[in-house]
């Protein structure tokens, strides 16, 4: 049966801006949108009707970069950083990603699912209908696969679309501490072929404390050989031109980007690679180097926002807070911020044909808000005005 949401203000995200339509209607059938536009032009139909009483409807929100599945937490390392320790020093001393690796290896798949559910529920409660979840804390074939299976299991426990990303090249496990090339051999020859049936994309950490551009390129080439999309953690702590490398290989996204250059940004724009900005990590790590947003605007690079939910550098489960941080810390406009968690976030996951806008043919994923002005979603801090979340028309 067709369903209709009437008497709403729509932010369709379909025309390069917010695509606002007053007195709008959304109609759906079999889980997909069949009409989104002015009430005066809506087709007559016998359907189940919901009066939205003037509320704002946006596409369901998309969190396009998370590390939601993991064991343990790193609150003690946060306390160390408050006392003056640097993230790089903690990582080299066996903390950071490797400490989460130990907790993740000790956890069962069921343990990982149970631990991730409260984090996922917090995002769902803010209107998130699609989420990317990376592996990267197992750092062995068996444990990376365990993480990917846990990510997929979450979609069976909640009404949410999960896009699993393989991130085996996240850090060196202790058993390979003196031979990063040998570990990349394992990632390329063993992990990626095993992960291919479970993942939709492959990521890598291109950084001085991670892996070199040449090593990341090997990972990217292996991913493409197995038919997987690629993305890259790039330019978070230093300028290695990882984002240009990602663009050269047609990556869906390059993420972080505080140290990206004009040339990097131009390459991303030309390749259609989305710039995923992660203000939670920037804030939590007290960074001072801002991502080059003005250059992104000049070159027309699409900008997305995400939580980067992870236990070490961005332990947030609020995509709404990222809207405010993206505006306050990075200078994004209301339009840029909201498109960053809808249409551009969809592009960062390769899902632009399915989600991210209110248009006929798209999946009927809606967030209905107890506000009428979209700016309120970006302006407020610690306030969740979600009235109702619709996934697949339900």
Tokens of 135: 């592996």
Residue 190: how many other CB atoms lie within 10 Å: 14
Work out the average pLDDT over 269-284: 98
The structure's pTM equals 0.97
pLDDT tens digit sequence for 6-21: 999 999 999 899 999 9
Domain boundaries, the chain: 3-60+356-390, 61-348
Give the torsion sign (CA, 99, 100, 105, 108). Answer: positive
pLDDT of residue 317: 98
Work out the average pLDDT over 253-258: 98
Best CA proximity match to 123, nearest among 75, 165, 68: 68
> Is 3-60+356-390's fold the same as 61-348's?
no
pLDDT tens digit sequence for 75-109: 888 888 888 888 777 877 777 788 899 999 999 99
pLDDT tens digit sequence for 156-208: 999 999 999 999 999 999 999 889 999 999 999 999 999 999 999 999 999 99
**Residue 320 above 60 pLDDT?**
yes
Within 8 A by CB and 6+ apart from 56, the residues are 8, 9, 10, 11, 368, 369, 371, 372, 373, 374
pLDDT of residue 207: 97
CATH number of 3-60+356-390: 2.30.40.10
**Residue 46 above 70 pLDDT?**
no
* CATH superfamily of the domain spanning 61-348: Metal-dependent hydrolases (3.20.20.140)
């Amino acid at each position: 049966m067709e369903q209709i949401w009437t008497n709403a203000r729509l932010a369709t995200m379909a025309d390069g801006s917010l695509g606002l339509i007053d007195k709008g209607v959304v109609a759906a059938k079999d889980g997909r949108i069949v009409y989104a536009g002015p009430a005066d032009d809506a087709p007559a139909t016998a359907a189940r009707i919901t009066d939205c009483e003037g509320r704002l409807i946006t596409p369901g929100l998309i969190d396009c970069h998370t590390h939601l599945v993991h064991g343990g937490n790193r609150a003690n390392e946060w306390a160390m950083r408050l006392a003056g320790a640097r993230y790089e020093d903690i990582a080299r001393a066996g903390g950071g990603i490797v400490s989460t690796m130990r907790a993740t290896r000790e956890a069962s798949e069921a343990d990982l699912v149970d631990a991730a559910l409260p984090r996922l529920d917090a995002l769902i409660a803010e209107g998130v209908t699609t989420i990317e979840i990376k592996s990267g804390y197992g750092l062995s074939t068996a444990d990376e696969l365990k993480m990917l299976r846990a990510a997929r299991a979450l979609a069976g426990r909640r009404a949410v679309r999960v896009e699993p990303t393989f991130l085996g090249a996240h850090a060196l496990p202790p058993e390979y501490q003196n031979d990063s090339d040998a570990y990349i051999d394992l990632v390329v020859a063993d992990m990626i072929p095993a992960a291919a049936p479970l993942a939709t994309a492959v990521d890598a950490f291109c950084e001085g404390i991670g892996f070199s551009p040449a090593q990341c390129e090997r990972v990217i080439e292996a991913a493409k050989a197995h038919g997987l999309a690629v993305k890259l953690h790039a330019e978070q702590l230093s300028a290695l031109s990882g984002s240009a490398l990602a663009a050269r290989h047609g990556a869906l996204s390059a993420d972080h980007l505080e140290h990206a250059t004009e040339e990097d940004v131009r390459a991303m724009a030309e390749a259609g690679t989305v710039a995923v900005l992660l203000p939670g990590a920037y804030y939590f790590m007290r960074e001072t180097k801002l991502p080059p947003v003005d250059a992104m605007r000049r070159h027309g690079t699409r900008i997305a926002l995400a939580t980067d939910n992870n236990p070490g550098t961005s332990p947030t489960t609020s995509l709404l807070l990222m809207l405010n941080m993206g505006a306050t810390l990075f200078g994004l406009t209301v339009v840029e911020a909201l498109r960053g968690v809808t249409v551009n976030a969809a592009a960062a996951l390769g899902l632009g044909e399915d989600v991210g806008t209110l248009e006929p043919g798209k999946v009927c994923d809606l967030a209905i808000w107890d506000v009428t002005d979209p700016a309120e979603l970006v302006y407020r801090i610690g306030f969740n005005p979600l009235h109702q979340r619709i996934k697949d028309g339900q």
